[in-house]
Homo-oligomer: A and B are copies of this chain.
Amino acid sequence: MKTLKIPEATIIRLSVYSRYLTEVDRKGIITISSGEVAEGVGVSPAQVRKDLAYFGEFGTRGVGYNVKDLHRHILKILGLAQDWSVTLIGLGNLGLALNSYKGFRERGFIITSVFDNDPQKVGTIVNGVEVMPIEQLEEIVAANKTQIGIIAVPSAVAQDIADKLVVSGVKAILNFAPGVLNVPPEVELRNVDLAVNLEVLTFNVGAQRF
Query: Which A positions have Cβ atoms within 8 angstroms of B?
Result: 1-4, 6, 8, 11-12, 14-16, 19-20, 23, 40-42, 54-55, 77-80, 84, 86, 92-94, 96-98, 100-101, 103-104, 106-107, 109, 147-148, 171-174, 178-180, 188, 190, 192-210
Contact = CB atoms under 8 A, between A and B. Distances in A.
B178 A19 contact: yes
Contacts of A15: 193, 195-196, 199-200
A199 B104 contact: no
A198 B174 contact: yes
A202 to B, nearest CB: 4
Given A78-B199, A107-B198, A6 B101 contact: no
Most B-side CB within 10 Å, residue of A92, A104, A207: A207
B6 A210 contact: yes
A54 B210 contact: yes
B180 A41 contact: yes
B80 A210 contact: no
Given A104-B195, A205-B188, A4 B210 contact: yes
Nearest to A173: B201
